Amino acid sequence: MEDLSRLFNPSSIAIIGASRDPSKIGSQILRNLVEYGFGGKIYPINPTVDELMGLKCYPKVSDVPEGVDVAVISVPSDKVLGVIDDCGKAGVKFAVVITSGFKEVGKEELEEELVRRAHSYGIRVLGPNIFGYVYTPARLNASFGPKEVISGNVAFISQSGALGIALMGYTIVENIGVSAIVSVGNKADIDDVDLLEFFEGDPNTGVIMIYLEGLAPGRGRKLIDVAARVSSRKPIIVIKAGRTEVGAKAAASHTGSMAGSVAVYESAFRQSGILMAKSVEDAFDWAKALAWNRMPEGENLVVITNGGGAGVQSTDTFADNGVYLKRPPEGLVQEIKRFTPPFASFTNPIDMTGMATDDWYHRATLAALKDPEVHALTVLYCQTAVTTPMGVARSIVDAIKDSGDSKPVTVGMVGGPGVAEAVSFLNKQRVAAYPTPERASAAMSSLYAYARAREYVVRSLGIS
Amino acid sequence: MEDLSRLFNPSSIAIIGASRDPSKIGSQILRNLVEYGFGGKIYPINPTVDELMGLKCYPKVSDVPEGVDVAVISVPSDKVLGVIDDCGKAGVKFAVVITSGFKEVGKEELEEELVRRAHSYGIRVLGPNIFGYVYTPARLNASFGPKEVISGNVAFISQSGALGIALMGYTIVENIGVSAIVSVGNKADIDDVDLLEFFEGDPNTGVIMIYLEGLAPGRGRKLIDVAARVSSRKPIIVIKAGRTEVGAKAAASHTGSMAGSVAVYESAFRQSGILMAKSVEDAFDWAKALAWNRMPEGENLVVITNGGGAGVQSTDTFADNGVYLKRPPEGLVQEIKRFTPPFASFTNPIDMTGMATDDWYHRATLAALKDPEVHALTVLYCQTAVTTPMGVARSIVDAIKDSGDSKPVTVGMVGGPGVAEAVSFLNKQRVAAYPTPERASAAMSSLYAYARAREYVVRSLGIS
């Protein structure tokens, strides 16, 4: 059996089910694949058409004169087995089965036969019942989700279809670059474990996020072992659908897969260093912070604000997450005292007061990043009349550049219409920014949570 | 002593500290007051200028020929007492002291003298150290925060200055209409208790939100008593800065006021029916749902979705908040089965599947709202290729109108760029909408949380 390298870096992809009808799922996938700029060969397969999107069509995969690495299959479920036979004949290595109508509608046997037959040809199966997959380093978007996925280093695995596609869109709005998005659907063959093993070694992936509903019987132990090993190198964030007993029942009725006991999952995830997110917002907030920052080298986290209230909210959020602010280094205090008024506060958070200007943000951020005793920085901003959100955002970006350093930074900005633009600007510069102090603080906390998780798995695995 | 009616509905306001310099806080307040459309008389007070913004200036408040209800004071702190004396001479009823430099910088005696002197003239004091106040029913924006506050029925009281102003902007972005925004600052005289008593009887206020850092000694017991009474009529949401022990220390160092013991606050809030929010996002999410919905008349909450994953996330969030979904009424199931495919799911959440169209959303929403056994509805949407977010948003709004009913509804929409516009459209129609299933579900949960809190206080107060 192949490992998954060729699935993500294929030389050629065949699309079975593309047609002249642009509303067909196969046609949408073909369009995404062509327009997103896949560099390998693309073969639309359709027995009644000569050409689609300027590409020559072939009646069957086995008619393609060269080898085909990946076959994306979007034909009615009763035709899938026949297509697999033809893929076997053509030497296809991966079948990406978009088609639904298998185990999720009670057709377990059809699904088992699909995998049995594929394996008899040495073909591995992604799906069935999926929206496709994306791998941005290869400019490969073989999905019927949004086209203009932003490239970056977050890999996202989704067991959910509609939610997964919607979250593809969410990554675009939130400016979160992805290395991969993989719809796993019924997980008849390739599952989270296989994908974790691939992303473990993938230099383009820095953070792995999984929307997980359930696991096939017997795969739980394997997932924990692999996740523990991967966690020692890269953070894994899991949104576990069915965290609660009633949620687990809802998940079971949705997927037909056992969602498993809540307590068992929680303890297993902890053991394997997985960060559990309760909501999609949390998961993506953390992914952004983890993807765009290196890890803090120590516990000295400094918070800078222009509003005491934002500082208190931040302190509470950090405490909720087991992160406690220490006194700021004296050198930093002296530096910031040079331009702030006497009633500024120098416990941590450092409150520059509502008089803070764009320039103060620049100087304070720069001073904190240059201070060898500071390990991480959260900058908070409340919109005031003496600043603009964009001015402050630019000050922060400039200070990060001017520092010549790469300490972890998160930013929380609260205010009116200009704030969304400033947050988006920061995110485009890969500075993890959020519209509230609490989200910026929870995101920074996720770095410390991962540091603790990594330490735990490294120790328990005996790796050093 | 006056109650606060004239503070919020004054016939006339004097602004002391407005000048030709538009960057002065007094000038900004004057501009907001004039441009937001205050209907009463406005008197700029400045001894060196004849006219400001087309309004005749007077050298002193006591020079104004007619009576002055409210004096907004933005002069240096060493001039405030003199101004109060003149206000006393002029028969002013409320002094809104913007000026800082009192207790928060250690000048307790100056602050005590301010209140003593004001009270000797029968003047009540809002502040000092505040950004002003807003009361939209009177088109009164006497603040130096954003001007174009949206009118509605949420009253927001903020002890924090910079965060409070920033949150004024946040209400605009989130389309949250407010009745009042009151900066209480040092709370030398008028405090949360007084304001709760005013908003209790204010027909323009339906929900009260407080950003609370601490209370003056002796006011805690009173707050609990008043809050319990008010909670029996209107929900009170409190963001308690310093929820954690370390956060409480940060709050104390920020305001100089005792943040109080965390456990004492929690228990007191519970007893008085207050809903405690951990973050500004939660607080405003809940405020929106509570402001725009009447209370559910029973436990039959139905969730409708086009994505099973979104449904599971919703189920988990409801369970986190003690809300458990019951089987949907059989009549509703039969109605929705008429247009959904056989693999749609009819446990609760009802999953119409990713095939759901705008029209299905209209029919399902309408059917749920018309079903006498349904008490509340949360609609979830994952962006798909067969729908647009705006199309679905319009379907939901139309169905609400067509139902002729007013059952509580929240909406959660996940997806790409079109989602923000659709969420904003729904919010403008006063349908509480959010960008994730979890936030929509937590917001609906806040209605049930308030129902429980209200029941508790009504029982313990012996009201019926």
| Complex prediction ipTM | 0.95
pLDDT score at A396: 98
Q: Could you give the CA distance from residue B212 to residue B133 in angstroms, rounded to a whole number? A: 16
Residues of chain B with C-beta less than 8 angstroms from the C-beta of A437: 163, 280
From the list B70, B78, B74, the residue with the least C-alpha distance to B125 is B70
A1-10, A282-291, B356-365, B386-395: which has the minimum mean pLDDT?
A1-10
pLDDT at B464: 52
Contact B309 A161 (CB under 8 A): yes
Please report residues of B whose CB lies closer than 8 A to that of A310: 160, 162-163, 166
The model carries a pTM of: 0.96
Q: Are A274 and A236 in contact (CB under 8 A)?
A: yes
The two structure tokens encoding residue A433: 């920014």
Q: Taking CB atoms and an 8 Å limit, are A213 and B309 in contact across chains?
A: yes
Size of interface A-B (CB pairs under 8 A): 259
Three-state SS for A101-129 is CCHHHCCHHHHHHHHHHHHHCCCEEECCC
| Nearest-by-CA chain A residue for B326 | A246
* For A255, nearest residue in chain B (alpha carbons): B308
Q: Which residues touch A95 (CB under 8 Å, ≥6 apart)?
A: A70, A71, A73, A83, A84, A87, A118, A123, A124, A125, A126, A127
User: Which of B306, B385, B419 lies at the smallest CB-CB distance from A28?
Assistant: B385
- Give me the residue from B104, B313, B324 closest to A246, CB to CB: B324
Q: What is the pLDDT along chain A (464 residues), one digit of tens a residue?
A: 568 999 999 999 999 999 999 999 999 999 999 999 999 999 999 999 999 999 999 999 999 999 999 999 999 999 999 999 999 999 999 999 999 999 988 999 999 999 999 999 999 999 999 999 999 999 999 999 999 999 999 999 999 999 999 999 999 999 999 999 999 999 999 999 999 999 999 999 999 999 998 888 888 889 999 999 999 999 999 999 988 888 888 777 665 555 567 777 888 899 999 999 999 999 999 999 999 999 999 999 999 999 999 999 999 999 999 999 999 999 999 999 999 999 899 999 999 999 999 999 999 999 999 999 999 999 999 999 889 999 999 999 999 999 998 999 999 999 998 999 999 999 999 999 999 999 999 999 999 999 999 999 999 887 65
Q: pLDDT value at position A399?
A: 98
Which of A158, A159, A414 lies nearest to residue B167, judging by beta carbons? Answer: A414
| Nearest CB to B416 within list A169, A250, A437 | A169
CB atoms B320 and A278 under 8 Å: yes
Chain A residues within an 8 Å CB radius of B417: 169, 172-173
Cα–Cα–Cα angle for B49, B54, B59, rounded to 5 degrees: 30
Q: Is B450's pLDDT higher than 70?
A: yes
Residue B83 CB contacts under 8 Å (≥ 6 apart), including other chains: B16, B61, B71, B73, B75
In chain B, which residues have their Cβ closer than 8 Å to the Cβ of A317? 278-279
Domains and CATH numbers, chain A: 5-289 (3.40.50.261), 294-451 (3.40.50.261)
**pLDDT by residue (tens digit) across B172-216?**
999 999 999 999 999 999 999 999 999 999 999 999 999 998 888
> In this complex, do B315 and A28 lie within 8 Å of one another by their Cβ atoms?
no
Contacts 24+ apart (CB under 8 A), B47-56: B48/B19, B49/B19, B49/B20, B52/B18, B52/B19, B52/B20, B52/B27, B55/B30
Reported as a single tens digit per residue, the pLDDT across B263-304 is 778 888 999 999 999 999 999 999 999 999 999 999 999 999
Per-residue CA distances from B229 to A220, A299, B35, B182, B412 (Å): 52, 46, 37, 21, 33
Q: How far apart are CA A403 and CA A332, in angstroms?
A: 14
Could you read off the pLDDT of B106-148 as tens digits, one per residue?
A: 999 999 999 999 999 999 999 999 999 999 999 999 999 999 9
pLDDT of residue A254: 61
B1: pLDDT confidence band, cut at 50, 70 and 90? low
Which residues on chain A are in Cβ contact (under 8 Å) with B29? none
Flag whether pLDDT at B149 surpasses 90: yes
Read off the pLDDT of residues B218-262 as tens digits, 9 standing for 90 and up.
888 899 999 999 999 999 999 999 888 888 887 776 655 555 677
Tell me the chain A residues in contact with residue B165 when contact means C-beta distances shorter than 8 Å: 354, 382-384
At residue B134, the 3 state secondary structure works out as strand
Judged by CB atoms closer than 8 Å, whether chains meet at A280 and B438 is answered as yes
Residue owning tokens 């675009």: A172
